[in-house]
Chains A and B, each alone.
Chain A
Amino acid sequence: MSKYLYIPVALLAITACRKDPGVPIAEMDSPFPLLLPAGSPFPETPSDNPLTTASVQLGKALFFDKRLSRDGTVSCASCHLPDHAFSDITAVSTGIEGRMGERNSPTLANVAYHQNYFRDGGVPTLEQQAIAPIHDDNEMDHDIHAVAAELREEEPFAKLSMLAYGKPMDGWVVTRALASYQRTLISGWSRWDRWMQGDAQALTPAEVRGWQLFNSNSLGCTNCHDGFDLKDHDFHNIGLYSEYADPGRARITLDPADEGKFKTPTLRNITLTAPYMHDGSMATLEEVMDHYAMGGHPHPNLSHLMRDFTLNAKDKADVIAFLNALTDDRSLDQVP
């Protein structure tokens, strides 16, 4: 055998099994082919958590796995139901052992574009948000590191973790993967979107009139519910109560001027995400409309944008018809 035979064999040996953790993430996996509505930007992602096919698949596997809870009874999807735009159908969600939460589980649609998380904005990133439900006593009452230890040897977790992050699954990977999957839950394919893009037949006349009312100065809905995601990324006290049991934004800022303020929610898929308000205290959109029409209950922090208005039955029905047109035509879940 020629001594030159060693050269290709050695090269082959060096390159054949490259799976070492030092490989840059970009080389480990391909970017996730995220579908985006017309005109919407690609969501920003942290430098240590690019959106890849493996990270998203791993996140989805974790999202639907009940072993994220201490007794194996609750998954993320238990409170963020895919058929309800990843929100819950009860006022507050039920965690392990029947423990009740304190706030309504919001839709996860377009969380990729949020500037902060939870209804009081207490957490700045999706990665850090992922810790809360797993550790909260009233939700999963578990531990990200314990979850990782339990699942890391199993497939598809073991393979996807290596592929996405170049290492076996740990608590850090759990948070990154869950964030990745949630970033793919994009909403923006409703009949209202098609109508806004020029499809005049996409909305009925009643829905168009409802949109016009919604967008009017007399109702002022778009003062807060505006833009692609129909929200303003801000916190408001809408006079839901004169005395709040939940301090809202003030829990984070410790500023009494923020008491009773909660983050403006998106209105996308609003028909699917009942009940409404931060505590799920309103079961129907009719109740919500009535609340805004009366201008809210008195409160020192009541938003100056809250003002009473009069709606006749047809107006109200048309606005609600418009809100119904904000439901996506397709599933939010882009992962097969």
Chain B
Amino acid sequence: MHLRDPRLFLPILLLLSACRPDPPVPPSPPVDPPIDTTGTDTTGTLRITLVPTWEGEPFERFTEYSNFMDYRVTVELLKMYFGDVRLIQGEDTLVVKDVDLFDLGDGNVSADWPVQTGSWTKLRAALGVPDTLNYADPANYGPGHPLNVSNATYWHWAIGYRYVMFEGRYDTDPESTEPLITAYAIHPGMGPSYVEFELLPTGGISIAEDEVTELVVQVAVDRFFHSDAYTIDLATENTAHGDNLPLQLKLVNNVIASFSVE
């Protein structure tokens, strides 16, 4: 053999190229259970936008408000999961999204979900994470996934997620001018606090091909403390970390009652 033999170039090139360092291997994609799209193409987008308000005005984190009991309150953390999101038309159900996370701390927040074209009367979901996902290994979910542990919603001392994270500070004295120090933290999860709700926009929900249909949901944060059914007195009801199920359920039901759609 002679190195200048051109016929050697191909095998040598083959050997060299085969032994180059491997390109970086991306981390495993997050495990996202398949979504039931009932066998049809997804050709439109449903955008859901949550608009947090306080007594009708834009809600702002860390702003001092007066709640229904005239307590001085701030809200410092507000996150919530929507699970098992479906569109409903009569007996027909379309699974839209298994789970998504909304962080309302910085105001309006949206999620875009691809769905098939069609018309639907309502959206049904639950406040929380479905059991099948709630008890899966969170290490399976990579960056960007709503169940990624970096979102700081996973309990970690137990399996499962905090369905709602509602935290802030309060003072029961409405006349006080002292800084708010006493904290409240109400975290439903780990119990039967996975509660379904429905959103029924007056005109229904129509998904058109290649178009974005936006469903705007007003979230009246001031109503988290009181609804027609439940009131939360922060003086005595200020902590739930998976325990204190009565308080968990009060908050979950008040949050759901605070939703309204345009």
B11 touches A254 (CB 8 A): no
A251, closest chain B residue (CB): B243
Distance between Cα atoms of A13 and B245 in the complex (Å) = 63
B139 touches A13 (CB 8 A): no
B28 touches A122 (CB 8 A): no
B7 touches A128 (CB 8 A): no
A71-79, A165-173, A294-302, A326-334 - the one binding chain B: A165-173
Q: 1/0 per position for A221-248, CB-CB distance to B under 8 A?
A: 0000000000000000000000000010
Distance between Cα atoms of A12 and B12 in the complex (Å) = 11
A28 within 8 A of B: no
Given contacts A1-B5, A131-B154, contact A125 B137 (CB under 8 A): yes
Checking A10, A13, A131 against B149 with a beta-carbon cut-off of 8 angstroms, the contacting residue is: A131
A9, closest chain B residue (CB): B11
A143 within 8 A of B: yes
A128 touches B27 (CB 8 A): no
B25 touches A127 (CB 8 A): no
A163 within 8 A of B: no
B interface majority secondary structure: loop
Distance between Cα atoms of A172 and B242 in the complex (Å) = 25
A171 touches B139 (CB 8 A): yes
A254 touches B159 (CB 8 A): no
B22, closest chain A residue (CB): A19
B181 within 8 A of A: no
A172 touches B25 (CB 8 A): no
A199 within 8 A of B: no
A6 touches B157 (CB 8 A): no
Checking A20, A127, A136, A172 against B28 with a beta-carbon cut-off of 8 angstroms, the contacting residue is: A172
Checking B8, B11, B148, B157 against A132 with a beta-carbon cut-off of 8 angstroms, the contacting residue is: B157
B190, closest chain A residue (CB): A254
A-contacting residues, B116-145, CB 8 Å: 137-140, 142-143
Distance between Cα atoms of A118 and B155 in the complex (Å) = 13
B10 touches A6 (CB 8 A): yes
B139 touches A168 (CB 8 A): no
Chain B residues, Cβ within 8 Å of A125 = 137
With both chains docked as a complex, state the minimum distance between the C-beta of B148 and any C-beta of chain A, in angstroms.
7
Chain B residues, Cβ within 8 Å of A176 = 139
Q: How many chain B residues touch A (Cβ–Cβ < 8 Å)? A: 37
Distance between Cα atoms of A67 and B155 in the complex (Å) = 22
B142 touches A131 (CB 8 A): no
Given contacts A128-B139, A251-B158, A254-B191, contact A135 B149 (CB under 8 A): yes
Distance between Cα atoms of A254 and B150 in the complex (Å) = 26
Given contacts A6-B11, A9-B15, contact A171 B142 (CB under 8 A): yes
B-contacting residues, A129-169, CB 8 Å: 131-132, 135-136, 143-146, 166-168
Distance between Cα atoms of A17 and B245 in the complex (Å) = 57
A33 within 8 A of B: no
With both chains docked as a complex, state the minimum distance between the C-beta of B160 and any C-beta of chain A, in angstroms.
9
Checking B1, B149, B159, B191 against A122 with a beta-carbon cut-off of 8 angstroms, the contacting residue is: B159
B160, closest chain A residue (CB): A122
Given contacts A128-B138, A170-B142, A254-B190, contact A21 B159 (CB under 8 A): no
A143 touches B25 (CB 8 A): no
Chain B residues, Cβ within 8 Å of A170 = 27-28, 142
A282 within 8 A of B: no
A123 within 8 A of B: yes
B-contacting residues, A1-53, CB 8 Å: 1, 5-6, 9-10, 12-14, 16-17, 19-21
A6, closest chain B residue (CB): B11
A205 within 8 A of B: no
Q: 1/0 per position for B168-209, CB-CB distance to A under 8 A?
A: 000000000000000000000011000000000000000000
A-contacting residues, B10-24, CB 8 Å: 10-11, 14-15, 17-19, 22, 24
A168 touches B159 (CB 8 A): no
Q: 1/0 per position for B236-262, CB-CB distance to A under 8 A?
A: 000000110100000000000000000
A12, closest chain B residue (CB): B15
Given contacts A1-B5, A170-B28, A172-B28, contact A13 B157 (CB under 8 A): no
Given contacts A6-B11, A172-B139, contact A21 B25 (CB under 8 A): yes
Q: Could you pull out 18 A-B pairs where Cβ atoms are within 8 angstroms?
A: A1-B5, A6-B10, A10-B14, A13-B14, A13-B17, A13-B19, A16-B19, A17-B22, A19-B22, A123-B159, A128-B138, A131-B138, A135-B149, A145-B150, A170-B28, A176-B139, A252-B190, A254-B242
The 3 closest A-B pairs by CB, nearest first: A122-B158, A13-B18, A170-B27
B interface list, Cβ under 8 A from A: 1, 5, 7-8, 10-11, 14-15, 17-19, 22, 24-25, 27-28, 137-140, 142-143, 148-150, 152, 154-159, 190-191, 242-243, 245
Apart from A145-B143, A146-B150, A250-B243, 14 more pairs, CB < 8 Å: A16-B15, A19-B22, A120-B158, A122-B157, A123-B157, A123-B158, A127-B139, A128-B138, A131-B156, A136-B157, A144-B149, A168-B24, A168-B25, A254-B191
